[in-house]
């Protein structure tokens, strides 16, 4: 199946449509979507899940392309892959040449595709709660470029590509060569583990280019993954972790194992964590991207270092 065939793969015919405010409704009754569980028929349940997932994914990706003019960038095919694409990512116009700041989104593992945090959240609570569209809209309004990763597209093929492999491939082929000097990352669920794996393997590069990381209900563990002391210190300084909690948004829910600032996501619903804490995430990014006011010491240090190369942006 070539790229054009993948893009134009037929959308399943389902008795649903999306309202103007992004809610999934039944075409006959206009009632909100309700999952019909078929007891004793797991095959039928699986088929409905697959069809609904594809239906929602197609709708969200069409909105990404038509309403926000994002475009697909297909990663290079490796010689040993026998023509298998490494998949695509979504990019905003000029994202690789943008001179200022770039927002990178990495979703959880499973059946969620590019542009989604949770297709089930979209089905039950709407596009604004389950898709990445609110993040894209907010980022473009604040003059970010955007890059949406797609770690699950080839998750079930014969080569068994993992989310970590995809994130590393996107980094090597795209992010390392983009002109953006200030990169921020939002990593949801297993996407957090994949990002920390990238930090383990590309430590100096990541520390130089990434200014802040928002971990949302992340699966990573900075004590179990093979981070060096420098990378661990950088992660503690430049990241924040939002976790499902009954506490109000941004209340401290620190843990000794967290290894950094950990706060409430403002909800116990794992699927809607990204939506609920989005405002807090962008406030965190805004603070981390602010220039550090010069001090007497930094002025002296800067004057002495002229001609010897600049330090990393997070130093």
Residue 4 confidence (pLDDT) above 80:
no
Structure tokens that stand for 116 in this block: 């989604």
Examine the pLDDT at 18 and tell me if it is beyond 90: yes
Number of domains in the chain: 1
Say if 42 falls within a structural domain: no
Instruction: Confirm whether 135 is domain-assigned.
Output: yes
Whole-number average pLDDT of the chain: 84
98-118 pLDDT, tens digit each: 778 999 999 999 999 999 999
Alpha-carbon span 10 to 32, nearest angstrom: 24
Percent of all residues in the chain with a pLDDT value above 70, rounded to a whole number: 79
Q: Report CA-CA distances (Å) from 287 to 4, 87, 102, 184, 276.
A: 42, 34, 15, 12, 19
- Does residue 173 lie in a domain region? yes
Q: What average pLDDT score do residues 262-273 get?
A: 94
Contacts of 137 (CB under 8 A, 6+ apart): 68
Over residues 30-66, the pLDDT tens digits come to 999 887 766 766 777 788 889 999 999 999 999 999 9
Whether residue 30 lies inside any domain: the answer is no
**pLDDT higher than 50, residue 135:** yes
Q: Is residue 251 part of a domain?
A: yes
Question: Residue 128 belongs to a domain with what CATH number?
Answer: 3.40.50
Q: Which residue has the higher pLDDT, 42 or 253?
A: 253
In a domain, 7, yes or no: no
Mean pLDDT of 295-304: 44
Q: How confident is residue 261, by pLDDT bands cut at 50, 70 and 90?
A: confident
Nearest to 7 by CA among 85, 104, 76: 85
* pLDDT for res 42: 74
**Is residue 35 included in any domain, yes or no?**
no
What CA–CA distance (Å, rounded) separates 314 from 196? 17
What are 159-185's pLDDT values in tens digits? Answer: 445 788 899 999 999 999 887 679 999
CB 265 within 8 A of CB 188: no
pLDDT, greater one: 23 or 221: 23
| Mean pLDDT of the 122-127 span | 96
Q: Is 38 within the bounds of a domain?
A: no
Q: What is the pLDDT of residue 248?
A: 95
Domain of 123, in residue numbers: 57-305
The answer to whether the CB of 168 falls within 8 A of the CB of 200 is no
């Amino acid at each position: 199946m070539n790229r054009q065939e993948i893009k134009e793969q037929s959308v399943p015919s389902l008795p649903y449509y999306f309202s103007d405010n992004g809610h999934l409704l039944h075409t006959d009754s206009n009632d909100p979507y309700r999952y019909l569980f078929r007891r004793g028929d797991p095959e039928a349940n699986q088929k409905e899940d697959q069809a609904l997932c594809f239906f929602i994914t197609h709708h969200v990706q069409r909105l990404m392309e038509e309403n926000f003019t994002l475009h697909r960038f297909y990663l290079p095919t490796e010689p040993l892959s026998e023509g298998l694409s490494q998949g695509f990512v979504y990019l905003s116009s000029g994202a690789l040449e943008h001179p200022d700041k770039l927002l990178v989104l990495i979703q959880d593992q499973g059946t969620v595709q590019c542009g989604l945090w949770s297709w089930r959240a979209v089905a039950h609570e709407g596009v604004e709660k389950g898709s990445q569209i609110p993040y894209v809209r907010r980022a473009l309004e604040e003059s970010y470029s955007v890059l949406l990763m797609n770690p699950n597209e080839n998750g079930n093929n014969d080569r068994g590509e993992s989310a970590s492999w995809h994130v590393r491939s996107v980094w090597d082929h795209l992010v390392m060569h983009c002109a953006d000097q200030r990169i921020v990352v939002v990593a949801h669920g297993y996407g957090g583990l994949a990002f920390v794996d990238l930090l383990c393997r590309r430590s100096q590069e990541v520390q130089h280019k990434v200014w802040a990381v928002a971990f949302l209900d992340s699966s990573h563990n900075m004590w179990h993954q093979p981070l060096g002391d420098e990378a661990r210190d950088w992660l503690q300084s430049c990241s924040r972790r939002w976790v499902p909690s009954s506490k109000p948004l941004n209340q401290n829910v620190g843990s000794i194992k967290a290894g950094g600032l950990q706060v409430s996501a403002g909800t116990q619903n794992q699927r809607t964590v990204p939506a609920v804490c989005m405002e807090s995430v962008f406030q965190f990014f805004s603070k981390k991207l602010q220039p550090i006011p010069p001090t007497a010491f930094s002025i002296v240090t800067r004057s002495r270092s002229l001609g010897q190369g600049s330090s990393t942006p997070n130093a």
